[in-house]
Copies of this chain bind each other. A is one copy, B any other.
Amino acid sequence: MALQVYNTLHRRKELFTPQHEGFVGIYVCGPTVYGHSHLGHAKSYVSFDVIVRFLRSLGYRVLYVQNITDVGHLTDDADQGEDKLARQARIDRIPPMQLAETYTRSYFEDMDTLNVLRPDIVPRASGHITEQISMVQTLIGKGMAYVANGSVYFDVGSFPAYGKLSGRTVEDLNAGARVEIKEEKKHPADFALWKRADAGHIMRWPSPWGEGFPGWHIECSAMSMKYLGEGFDIHGGGLENQFPHHECEIAQSEGATGKPFVRYWLHNNMVTVNGKKMGKSLGNFITLKDAFAKWDPQVVRFFILQSHYRSTLDFSDEALDGARAGYEKLANTLRNLREKIAIAPDGGEGTGVDLDRRTAEFRNAMDDDFNTPQAIAVLFDVARELNQAFASEKNYGRPSLEAIDRWYALHAGSVLGIMTGDARGAGSSGPLVGPLVELLIAIRSDIRLQKLWALSDKIRDGLARIGIGLEDKKAGTTWKNIS
């Protein structure tokens, strides 16, 4: 089977064939950096992280671009309201770019903690004003946009395919438009490409139409095409951005270039809390920093991947506790495996786990529009078989056990980004670990001189459970991470 992805543009699963053989260009809408990231961000960026990891595991060279929105995103997500950053900066009494710096850093801290690999290029919207102005000029030149009172609007009537992503029509939009229509718009469904900066608006740049700032939608068109070309493979983002944001991106980009913009549109679904939409106004908003205080970030990541990226993810304490139980079950099996490897003979029996079959199952799951819950089920299938094998108390050979360990390192670790060395409690030794282990070794040495073998074994076994193996040599005892 080959990779099939659900393309929102055509509302069906399609065979994935990139534009250039062996190379995938992917753009994902990044965060608007005016506050700490929440569970919704985690769902989106963990999902696309796994998509990028899987594409790389298939041998593709992937160029992953994810922007930072630091200007132009208004409080109503469309053309009305205040700039989200300008508003928060006013409240915090700091310059907007200091706010952007603070929350960009906070965002990446949280993503690093979730084991989300950094995108290859992270363009800032405010850093691409020139590119955005150029694109607006092109659209005006083609008669697809018009200047009104220092702002520039896209004329949706000039792009007949408007609505092809979201399934909305211009008629629907006109009919459903708000009462307060900006008089300067020719049609209610037209959207802003460039907005005039009123007196007192802090974030402003000179333009052919006077001082102003870019519309939110034009940013992603300008930045994605700058780094990935006029037509590229995958555009990702949250479902809530399908309309108007992504619909507008298509209209602007295809309007400006006359070429297809994106081959595959991928949208992740949203997070609910105890069955209800999560929102600041609803008071059920959970930041990642709060979540990490309660749950291991690896468990949060595991929880997210246990549901499909196109399904809603319902967050509750019970659901997280359930995920933790599953995660620990798998982690225990892996720890047990490492302990067995440490003492396994070079020869010895095979475990009988059919890794080729499981590899195919894992690949099939991921090939089916990145079905991570199914892929995780395969990880559990291998664990179950392995635990059965261990129950028989046979003396398995090191090569057979190491093959399973490598299988997990690839499928759980590299592709899904879970059960990595750190997650199993080893590898990430803090500065105190060495001295503590050395102290235990020194105490154990004294204990052994007094022939208190039970206590000596208690230290060895206790350390092994933590993931630290001792080796007694003539010159003394050494230790190493075994998990």
> Measuring CB to CB, which residues of chain A are less than 8 angstroms from any residue of chain B?
63, 94-95, 97-98, 101, 105, 118-124, 126-131, 133-134, 205-206, 227, 422, 425-426, 428-433, 435-437, 439-440, 442-443, 446-447, 450, 452, 455, 458-459, 462-463, 466-468
Chain B residue nearest to A96 in the complex (CB): B121
| Contact yes or no, A440 B443, CB < 8 A | yes
| Contacts A/B (CB < 8 Å), 13 sampled | A126-B127, A127-B128, A130-B130, A131-B205, A422-B431, A425-B431, A425-B432, A425-B435, A428-B431, A430-B430, A430-B431, A432-B436, A433-B436
Task: Evaluate contact between B432 and A429: CB separation under 8 angstroms.
Answer: yes
The answer to whether B446 touches A227, judged by C-beta atoms less than 8 angstroms apart, is no
Whether the pair B126, A97 counts as a contact (CB closer than 8 A) is no
Chain B residues whose C-beta falls within 8 Å of the C-beta of A459 in the assembled complex: 439, 443
> Are B118 and A101 in contact, CB atoms less than 8 angstroms apart?
yes
Residues from chain B with a CB closer than 8 A to the CB of A124 are 124, 127
How far apart are the CA atoms of A433 and B437 in the complex, in Å? 10
On whether the beta carbons of A101 and B121 are closer than 8 Å, the reply is yes
Who on chain B is nearest to A455 by CB? B446
The answer to whether A443 and B455 touch across the interface, beta carbons within 8 angstroms, is yes
Task: Give chain B nearest CB distance to A136 CB in angstroms.
Answer: 12
Task: Report the bound CA distance from A105 to B462 in whole Å.
Answer: 38
User: A120 near B98 (CB under 8 angstroms)?
Assistant: yes
Which residues of B have CB within 8 Å of A468? 432
Closest B residue to A119 by beta carbon equals B101
3 closest Cβ contacts across the A-B interface?
A430-B430, A127-B127, A436-B436
A120 contact set on B, CB distance < 8 A: 94-95, 98, 101
Contacts of A437 in B (CB 8 A): 436
- Interchain CB contact under 8 A, A442 and B462: yes
State in angstroms the CA–CA spacing of A422 and B431 once bound together.
Answer: 9
* Cβ-defined contact, A227 with B95, below 8 A: yes
Cβ A432 vs Cβ B98 within 8 A? no
A205 touches B130 (CB 8 A): yes
Check B118 against A105 for contact (C-beta < 8 Å): yes
Decide if B429 touches A206 in the complex (CB within 8 Å): no
Which residue from chain B places its CB closest to the CB of A438 in the assembled complex? B462
List chain B residues, Cβ under 8 A from A121.
Answer: 95, 97-98, 101
